[in-house]
């Protein structure tokens, strides 16, 4: 069974920072859509983590830094 990863959220006037806390993560995937973010991975014990966050406003998912 999968479980949500502990998530820390910091917001600033123009940016939002999300930190997913999983030690020794593997198979990490982050998909950013216009109004949704999906994070998934496994830890060293093989436990699956999955977070799906629906955003209140549209983001520019095409910009990568």
Q: What is the pTM assigned to this prediction?
A: 0.84
Contact 38, 52 (CB under 8 A): yes
Residue 60 belongs to a domain: no
Residue 34 belongs to a domain: yes
Contact 49, 30 (CB under 8 A): no
Q: Which two tokens stand for residue 46?
A: 């093989």
Q: Which two tokens stand for residue 16?
A: 């939002």
Q: Where are the alpha helices (DSSP H) in 1-65?
A: none
Number of domains in the chain: 1
Residue 61 belongs to a domain: no
Residue 62 belongs to a domain: no
The pLDDT tens digits of the residues spanning 12-50 come to 888 888 999 999 999 999 999 989 999 999 999 999 999
């Amino acid at each position: 069974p999968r479980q949500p990863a502990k998530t820390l959220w910091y917001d600033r006037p123009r940016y939002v920072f999300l930190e997913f806390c999983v030690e020794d993560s593997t198979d990490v995937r982050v998909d950013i859509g216009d109004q949704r973010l999906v994070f998934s991975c496994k830890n060293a014990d093989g436990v699956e983590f999955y977070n799906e966050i629906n955003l209140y406003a549209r983001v520019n998912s095409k910009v990568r830094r």
